[in-house]
Amino acid sequence: MTMRRMISICLTLVLAAVLFTPALAAEQTTAAAWTRSEGDGSYVTIRLSYPEGSDLSYSEQEGLVARYADTGEPIALSSSLYGEYFFATVPADNAGRPIEVYPATPARFEDCITVWQGVEYESDLPIGAKELNVRGVVNGTGGGNLSPDASLTRAEAFAMIVRLLDLPAPSDQSWEGLGNKTWFSDVPQDAWYYDTASAALAAGIAAEDVRFNPNRPVTRAEFTVMVARAFRTLGWLESSDADLRFADADAIPAWALDAYRDLDAHGVSITTVEFADEPDAYGDIATTFLAEPGKTATRGEVIEFLYNALRFLPCYPTEAAIAWGFDKEMPVIDGSTSTYPYTTTLFNTMFINCDCHPNFPQSHSKSYYSYDRLISGEADLLIISTKPTEDTLAKAKEAGVELELTPIAYDAMVFFTNSENPVDGLTMDQIRTIYVENPYTNWTELGGPDAAFIPYCRNMDSGSQAQMEEFFLKGDEIHPDIRRETTSVSMASVLTDVAGAYQEDPLTYALGYSIYYYYQSASQILLGENELKLLEINGVYPTDETIADGSYPLSGYNYAVVRADEPKDSPARRMVDFLLSEGGQICVQNAGFGPLDPQDTAF
């Protein structure tokens, strides 16, 4: 599971822990409803508000479901509880019907009940079985059993998808009524799955073929494709180019590959997990993930798979997103490597399952290239750690673009060395001499120990290069020998390069530079404790306080950058305003950066 997926899941679980009262009159719920058209307009999502409830247990939450108030029919595409809200997605033709949240009682599945010492416990109950049961998607196999280990036929699998999407059978099931699609030769008109097959075929969930194969057990690959088609119908599944995590990815048939890639990018898949018999040299147990696409899918696997898709694929707006208009349109955001936590925090603040938003970036393009994207119009907003370089300003001028920078947080340029180095600080004059003239080979020449001196620099298209230009180079260049021999090509590698340069014989210490808040987080992740240390500059040590009050001489800001011709009420400008608001500055802090003094912001 990716870190991004974990962040999204954690946010979902935190929000879902806030509970609601399940009973409001239908007129009350729909009066304040937020709505959004889905996919090609065939569906509408409605948000129901429940601000007063806080007394439900988790098991009671499992039974909550949105339903049509006029008939009591459950709405399959119902969300879990998020904060004060519950979301329901219905066919567009039903969007005007009154909707309420109802505390239904999930079915009791006898084969998933264990009695121990006179007390009943649920055992082997698939995750999501209760939720999908009260939504009308999952039924038992008769006799009060769920049979989670039993196989599922293709007809049964399609029936679950048809119930989930509330797909009606076409009123005209002739060749013309089905869009001139070939009817299945093995689906007689009196079969229980006749309407299921026609609904799935008309909606494009079942592929056009001469046979439906209703009684054949559905494979994992087949059900994966069914789910992908269903959620693409809703507009909730984007194409992905992410690498598949499965060790047997080569076994996935070509017709299922896109479905696997798109779903697994969000942690939604049927997966077999194998563990090594013995731990490795570090004490870790190796884990192998297998798709086993040709394997028959069990009822339990299908239930958990479908429930996870319903939990993790819809991207719902939060109250903040709606209040600021980002539910309608989010700006395309890019920026520095070090500022990517801003973007993930912003999206997590604005959306549930934010990584499913079409504008969610998998990474930033780095400072230099993100400025290029803003100048060309590919990006709407940059969250950046550095001012533009002279080269970038020249590109902007040539393109007739003026860049507008707004400080949104405190940050600073910092220098660091190996923690064993007794040198505690350098002056700005010394640093300029080091990088422009390159005269030093030993730390003794800088007032330090008898140890070899290695200065590392960053690549020309980095944000740190822009910091060097601003504070030290002043029109000069980094010495070509340093540039040729000790350039670190990424923000992470400059940390590991400096740490790795340490030697005892001959004694060697290195020097490097980065951005304060990136250093604070990344050095712990990459290197652990006590590998590197920050240096004082002109006698002042970089801290949150010395950076905020400006006494640290390399203090600066992170910026939100837009084109000066950006329209007044555009999503990009509204995001700048949000970042300067109280809520936006909380995002700054939650992203691990230094919020501005309130006197310097709009709140």
The least confident of 180-184, 226-230, 300-304 is: 180-184
Let me know: does 147 contact 141? Beta carbons within 8 Å: yes
Q: What is the pLDDT of residue 27?
A: 33
Q: Containing H/E element for 511?
A: strand 507-515
Say yes or no to pLDDT of 491 above 60.
yes
pLDDT tens-digit series, residues 424-453: 999 999 999 999 999 999 999 999 999 999
Which backbone phi and psi does 489 adopt, to 5 degrees? -90, 0
Most confident stretch, 100-104, 226-230, 458-462:
226-230
129-153 confidence digits (pLDDT tens):
999 999 999 998 888 999 999 999 9
Per-residue model confidence (pLDDT) at position 21: 30
Q: Where are the beta strands (DSSP E) in 163-275?
A: 272-275
The pLDDT value recorded for residue 178 is: 64
Q: What is the mean pLDDT of the chain?
A: 88
The model's pLDDT over 545-585, given as tens digits with 9 standing for 90+, comes to: 999 999 999 999 999 999 999 999 999 999 999 999 999 99
pLDDT at 164: 97
Q: What is the pLDDT of residue 422?
A: 96
Task: Please tell me the distance from the alpha carbon of residue 152 to that of residue 298, in angstroms, as a whole number.
Answer: 6
| Cα separation, 269 vs 257, whole angstroms | 12
E-assigned strand segments in 366-402: 381-384
> Taking 70 as the threshold, does the pLDDT of residue 531 lie above it?
yes
Looking at per-residue pLDDT, the higher value among 304 and 140 belongs to: 304
pTM for this structure? 0.83
CA distance 258 to 564: 40
Q: 233, 286, 237, 234: which is closest to 260 by C-alpha? A: 237
Task: Tell whether the torsion through CA atoms of 511, 517, 519 and 520 is positive or negative.
Answer: positive
Percent of the chain with pLDDT over 90: 69
pLDDT at site 41: 95
Residue whose tokens read 């190796």: 286
pLDDT of residue 545: 93
Quick one: average pLDDT of 370-382?
A: 96
- Here the tokens at position 74 are 């459950």
Give the DSSP H or E segment for 514: strand 507-515
Length of the chain: 603
Identify the sign of the CA torsion 193, 198, 203, 208. Answer: positive
Cα–Cα dist 499/119, whole Å: 58
pLDDT digits (tens, 9 = 90+) for 21-32: 333 333 334 434
